């Protein structure tokens, strides 16, 4: 299975960790080890002086000399920010969480000085998704890697689901006792594959991919597979082509599950990579009211295109962010936004017949998407050239056009602040007060 998410680092890879860019276009130009980075900007894109001691940003080195990458973030009810990712290098990666107070300072009531590190026995682990339960407990999904190839590119992959108490300790009594986590096998994959997580009431749904198949696992609140979902707790869909890492969201109105990813191969000429969106009923069956098959494939100009994030709008429309026109030879790609009606048809009121493309002139990576209360769209990620990445954020109007009131012509490029000379905004949150939080690495 080919699956890359540009700018997201899996520290098991010595080469990828050096350049923070796990693609075939990597270089051996090293940058200093990275740190968790969180930036907060106001509604116009200007850094918030009330965050990070007046700077508008904070960086946190979890382990000096290693690569610390925040992949996802969540906002607690008290406006504390919880970030999750990984810390490590060359096969030593482990799940890492950092919690910040609303002003950006480390929350020392969480873990050790605001930091929690969790190794999963016998495997390398990479925290990639996070959710906050109504009671304040923290749920994390991580991809695990074992049996790694000699060239550090392929592995046997799996998913770990963990739950933490509000203070950062593993919930070993209420969830998957006595460990506080459960694991599930996926199969052969790459060391840059990803997993995703969403809450469905009191249940947890995690998704991953291996070979031609995507997998959804549903666990109950105690960490036990829910046999009322799919087949014995697992919903499996064979795409008929190599499956790229999927991302999932729940429709609030009916608890249906929307999955977005890609299918195809970047190395096989007759299998171009296309974006794929699936919708399942609440119990894990493909929803035939969605494009009659439960599946929509979107081909954008015959070049590689796939999803890397999605969100359900208040009107039920499905907004998918990702990559389009991926061209490794030209070292270029564009950011794509695709919006679907509730029946799976393209929303022709959005962009150009349902698709909005943004070309920033480099290898442009959309990694996360969020909605403001006014339904404007925030996309975060990075731009990459010759293996070096820099944070990028874009705001769009509801029709898919760039919002010129945000940054410069709708684009914000926060400065690299260190300790590294590379950066990325892997996650984006919109606070109730309208401020916008980006989390990733720097």
Q: Where are the beta strands (DSSP E) in 51-202?
A: 57-60, 67-75, 81-88, 94-100, 115-118, 124-132, 138-146, 154-164, 181-190, 196-200
Which pLDDT tens digit goes with each residue over 302-328? 678 999 999 999 999 999 999 999 988
Of the pLDDT bands very low, low, confident and very high (cuts 50, 70, 90), residue 270 is low
Q: What is the pLDDT of residue 92?
A: 64
Q: How far apart are CA 243 and CA 440, in angstroms?
A: 25
- Rounded to the nearest integer, the mean pLDDT of the chain is 90
pLDDT bin (cut points 50, 70, 90) of residue 234 is very high
pLDDT digits (tens, 9 = 90+) for 191-224: 889 999 999 999 999 999 999 999 999 999 999 9
- Summarised one tens digit per residue, pLDDT across range 27-37 is 233 456 899 99
Percentage of residues of the chain with pLDDT beyond 90: 80
Residue found under tokens 């036990």: 224
Pick the CATH number of 14-441 from 3.60.15.10, 3.10.20.600, 2.130.10.10, 3.30.420.250: 2.130.10.10
Q: What is residue 152's predicted lDDT score, i.e. its pLDDT?
A: 75
Which is higher by pLDDT, 385 or 326?
Answer: 326
- Residue 116 burial (CB count, 10 A): 24
pLDDT at 19 over 50: no
Res 98 pLDDT > 80: yes
Question: How far is the C-alpha of 426 from the C-alpha of 405, rounded, in Å?
Answer: 23
């Amino acid at each position: 299975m080919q699956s890359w998410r540009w700018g997201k680092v899996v520290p098991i890879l010595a080469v990828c960790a050096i350049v923070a860019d796990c693609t075939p276009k990597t270089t051996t130009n090293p940058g200093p080890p990275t740190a968790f980075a969180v930036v907060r900007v106001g509604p116009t894109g200007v850094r918030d002086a009330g965050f990070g001691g007046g700077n508008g940003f904070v960086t946190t080195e979890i382990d000096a000399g290693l690569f610390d990458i925040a992949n996802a973030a969540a906002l607690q009810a008290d406006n504390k920010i919880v970030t999750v990712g990984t810390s490590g290098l060359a096969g030593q990666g482990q799940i890492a969480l950092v919690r910040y107070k609303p002003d950006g300072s480390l929350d020392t009531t969480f873990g050790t000085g605001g930091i929690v590190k969790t190794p999963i026995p016998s495997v390398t682990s990479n925290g990639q998704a996070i959710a906050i339960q109504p009671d304040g407990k923290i749920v994390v999904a991580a991809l695990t890697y074992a049996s790694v190839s000699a060239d550090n590119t392929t592995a046997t992959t799996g998913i770990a689901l963990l739950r933490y108490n509000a203070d950062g300790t593993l919930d070993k009594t209420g969830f998957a006792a006595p460990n506080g986590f459960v694991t599930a096998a996926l199969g052969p994959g790459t060391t840059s594959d990803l997993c995703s997580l969403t809450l469905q009431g009191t249940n947890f749904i995690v998704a991953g991919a291996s070979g031609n198949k995507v997998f959804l696992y549903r666990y109950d609140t105690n960490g036990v597979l829910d046999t009322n979902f799919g087949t014995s707790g697992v919903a499996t869909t064979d795409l008929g082509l190599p499956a790229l890492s999927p991302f999932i969201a729940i429709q609030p109105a009916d608890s249906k599950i929307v999955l977005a990813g890609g299918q195809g191969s970047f190395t096989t000429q007759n299998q171009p990579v296309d974006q794929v969106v699936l919708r399942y009923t609440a119990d894990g069956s493909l929803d035939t009211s969605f494009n009659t098959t439960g599946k929509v494939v979107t081909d954008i100009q015959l070049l590689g295109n796939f999803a890397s994030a999605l969100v359900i709008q208040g009107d039920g429309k499905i907004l998918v962010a990702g990559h389009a026109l991926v061209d490794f030879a030209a070292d270029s790609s564009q950011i794509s936004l695709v919006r679907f009606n509730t029946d799976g048809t393209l929303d022709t009121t959005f962009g150009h017949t349902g698709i909005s493309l943004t070309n920033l002139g480099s290898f442009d990576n959309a990694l996360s998407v969020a909605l403001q209360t006014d339904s404007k769209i925030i996309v975060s990620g990075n731009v990459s050239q010759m293996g070096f990445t820099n944070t990028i954020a874009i705001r769009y109007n509801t029709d898919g056009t760039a919002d010129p009131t945000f940054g410069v012509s709708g684009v914000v490029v926060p400065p690299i602040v260190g300790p590294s000379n590379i950066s990325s905004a892997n996650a984006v949150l919109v606070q109730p007060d309208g401020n916008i939080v980006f989390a990733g690495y720097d």
